[in-house]
């Protein structure tokens, strides 16, 4: 079980543009970090670099468990969730099919899947095609992955943007429960996170 | 295992889902085969001489049609990001996607290949070898095509790029596939050509996933 994420001297470049350099960050279990910064400062890129989708120009991202470092492939394949603007949901498939597929691909069990449906109040949406869902409903379906396949590190990119006030509160409880169980949260946000979090500013 | 079978079911459902991709590929195949007699003239001798080979070349073209969506749609909606975060390597995911492409597109095309070939004037006794060659070739079309589909990720007019990248790599499949059918029809030794066809397809199935995964990672970064 992952209990620490360490980012050291990270520099990211997109195209010709240097987004930031020398970014260091230490995230321990039970902790949440809110990444802030202007549009285009590199918050999303930082999350994608942690997920291994972008290779950093310099610096390193490492994952640890109590007895030592975890292989990056293992950590990324079994230990983290990435929830971005694009939710990976196919518009022509039903909510149940999509959630079921992603939960299995990301290593979740049937019990976890039922819990996710309950936690995000998805029951009435399950039979609907994804294209018939509103932006907020789609986001809830994407968020359900976090519960449907339990993994310690959550990388969240503006997770609450399309949610209504009651669902924001609900998601706040979800995040708190995750932190209480020893989870780690790294979230790019513009508004404050609904859980106690350290703020790290990305970019100048 | 359950993750792989879930991916396979998803891929098949997407291929057969709205839009009916395989049906379009089959309709395109039949349409292409219908144009041929119009160009060649209606002489049965002339047509039946070229029927098996032409049917196989038309099969190669029809296999190109649905390749564009193979990775592109997962790339556009972020699903490809999530596929890299599974416990199983992206190479396996790419291989499963190509296998599904073969089952959903290659198999229906292989089943109508003898119909097209016979309609063009090939002898009915060639039907079985035509299905076998089309199935074996279809595996190669799917995996070699998958490399093109992954390389074209994010490119504008990706479909055309795929065709340009992939068609030269289809050449051995067309040579050995059509060659096996022609040799069988002429009463010659046809097994070596079929063996080469199967070997090329299996080599593609073995090597292409590595290339596809690398191309996908490159497109995502």
Confidence bin at B20 (pLDDT 50/70/90):
low
Residue B60: HSE in the Cβ half-sphere, 13 Å Cα cutoff: 23
Do A42 and A143 fall within a single domain? Answer: no
Query: Nearest-CA distance from A111 to chain B in Å?
Result: 15
Instruction: Give B174-214 pLDDT, tens digit per residue.
Output: 999 999 999 999 999 999 999 999 999 999 999 999 999 99
Q: Which of A150, A173, A193 is the last residue of a domain?
A: A150
B36-45 CB contacts, 8 Å cutoff, 24+ apart: B36/B120, B37/B120, B44/B121
Domain span at residue A99? Answer: 88-150
pLDDT digit string (tens) for A143-168?
A: 999 999 999 999 999 998 888 999 99
Based on the fold, state whether residues A134 and A162 are members of the same structural domain: no
B154 touching A, CB under 8 A? no
Do residues A14 and A100 share a domain? Answer: no
Give the Cα-Cα-Cα angle A114, A117, A120 (nearest 5 degrees): 145
Distances (CA, A) of A196 to A26, B6, B150: 16, 37, 42
pLDDT at B16: 84
- Per-residue confidence (pLDDT) for residue B181, from 0 to 100: 94
User: What per-residue confidence (pLDDT) applies to A16?
Assistant: 83
Calculate the alpha carbon distances from A125 to A31, A120, A128, B45 in Å: 32, 10, 5, 61
Report whether pLDDT(B1) > 70: no
Question: Which of these ranges, A116-120, A174-178, B42-46, has the smallest mean pLDDT?
Answer: B42-46
User: Which residue is associated with the tokens 């504008």?
Assistant: B156
- Measured between beta carbons, the chain B residues lying within 8 angstroms of A100 are 6
Q: Which pLDDT value is given to residue A15?
A: 83
What is the percent of chain A with per-residue pLDDT over 70, rounded to a whole number?
A: 100
Q: What angle, 0 to 180 degrees and rounded to 10, lies between the N-to-C axes of helices B158-185 and B191-220?
A: 170
Count of domains for chain A: 2
A11, A57 Cβ separation under 8 angstroms: yes
* Domain CATH number, residue A35: 3.40.50.300
Average pLDDT for B39-56: 85
Average pLDDT over residues A9-34: 91
- Asked if the C-beta of A81 comes within 8 angstroms of chain B's C-beta atoms, the answer is yes
Looking at residue B210, what is its pLDDT?
Answer: 97
Question: Is B199 in CB contact (< 8 Å) with chain A?
Answer: no
Residues A157, A146, single domain; the answer is no
Look up the domain containing B153 and give its range: 2-220
Mean pLDDT lowest among A13-17, A103-107, B73-77: A13-17
Residue-averaged pLDDT of chain A: 91
What's the mean pLDDT in A16-25?
Answer: 89
User: From CA B124, how far away is CA B25, in angstroms rounded?
Assistant: 23
Same domain, A40 and A53: yes
Tell me how far CA of residue B40 lies from CA of A23, A36, B155, in angstroms.
Answer: 68, 68, 37
Going by the DSSP 8-state scheme, the letter that residue A192 receives in this structure is P
- What is the pTM for the complete model shown? 0.92
Is A129 strand, coil or helix?
strand
B positions 86-115 inside 8 Å of A (CB): 86-89
- Chain B interface test: which of A104, A152, A159 (most B C-beta within 10 Å): A104
Let me know whether A92 and A140 are in one domain: yes
Please give the share of chain A, as a percent, with pLDDT higher than 90: 71
Instruction: For A39-76, write each residue's pLDDT tens digit.
Output: 888 999 999 999 999 999 999 999 999 998 999 989 99
Average of pLDDT values for B79-91? Answer: 94
Encode A37-71 in three state secondary structure: CCCCCCHHHHHHHHCCCCCCCEEEEEEEECCEEEC
Question: What residue spans of chain B are helical by DSSP H?
Answer: 2-16, 21-40, 44-64, 68-76, 79-83, 90-101, 107-119, 127-151, 158-185, 191-220
Instruction: Provide the β-strand partners of residue A20.
Output: A12
CB contact at 8 A, B152 and B67: no
Please tell me whether residues A175 and A112 are part of one structural domain.
no
Q: Which residue has the tokens 């169980």?
A: A181
How much is the pLDDT for B18? 60
Whole-number pLDDT of residue A5: 94
Instruction: Let me know whether A1 and A74 are in one domain.
Output: yes
Report chain B residues whose CB lies below 8 A from the CB of A53.
Answer: 81, 84, 217, 220-221
What is the rounded average pLDDT of the residues B133-149? 96
């Amino acid at each position: 079980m992952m209990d620490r994420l360490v980012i050291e001297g990270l520099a990211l470049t997109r195209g010709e543009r240097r987004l930031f350099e020398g970014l260091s960050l230490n995230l321990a279990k039970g902790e949440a970090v809110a990444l802030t910064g202007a549009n285009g400062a590199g918050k999303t890129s930082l999350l994608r670099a942690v997920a291994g989708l972008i290779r950093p120009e310099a610096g390193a991202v490492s994952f640890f468990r109590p007895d030592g470092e975890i292989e990056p492939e293992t950590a990324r394949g079994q230990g983290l969730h990435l929830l971005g603007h694009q939710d990976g949901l196919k518009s022509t498939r039903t909510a149940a099919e999509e959630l079921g597929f992603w939960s299995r691909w990301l290593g979740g069990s049937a019990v976890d899947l039922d819990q996710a449906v309950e936690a995000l109040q998805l029951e009435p949406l399950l039979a609907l095609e994804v294209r018939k869902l509103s932006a907020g409903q789609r986001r809830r379906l994407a968020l359900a992955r976090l519960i449907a396949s339990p993994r310690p590190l959550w990388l969240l990119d503006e997770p609450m943007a399309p949610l209504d006030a009651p669902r924001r509160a609900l998601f706040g409880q979800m995040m708190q429960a995750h932190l209480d169980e020893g989870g780690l949260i790294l979230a790019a946000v513009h508004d404050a996170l609904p859980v106690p979090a350290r703020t790290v500013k990305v970019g100048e | 295992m359950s993750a792989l079978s879930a991916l396979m079911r998803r891929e098949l459902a997407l291929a057969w889902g709205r839009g009916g991709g395989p049906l379009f590929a089959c309709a395109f195949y039949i349409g292409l085969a219908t144009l041929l007699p119009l160009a060649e003239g209606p002489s049965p001798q002339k047509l039946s001489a070229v029927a098996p080979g032409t049917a196989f070349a038309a099969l190669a073209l029809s296999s190109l049609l649905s390749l564009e969506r193979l990775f592109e749609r997962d790339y556009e909606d972020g699903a490809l990001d999530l596929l890299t975060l599974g416990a199983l390597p992206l190479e396996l995911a790419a291989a499963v996607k190509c296998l599904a492409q073969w089952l959903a597109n290659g198999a229906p095309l292989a089943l109508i290949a003898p119909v097209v070939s016979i309609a063009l004037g090939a002898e009915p006794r060639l039907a079985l070898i035509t299905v076998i060659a089309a199935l074996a070739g279809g595996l190669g079309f799917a995996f070699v095509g998958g490399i093109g589909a992954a390389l074209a990720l994010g490119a504008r007019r990706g479909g055309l790029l795929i065709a340009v990248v992939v068609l030269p790599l289809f050449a051995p499949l067309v040579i050995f596939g059509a060659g096996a059918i022609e040799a069988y029809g002429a009463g010659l030794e046809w097994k070596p050509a079929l063996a080469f066809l199967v070997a090329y397809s299996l080599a593609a199935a073995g090597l292409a996933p590595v290339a596809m995964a690398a191309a996908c990672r490159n497109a995502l970064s």
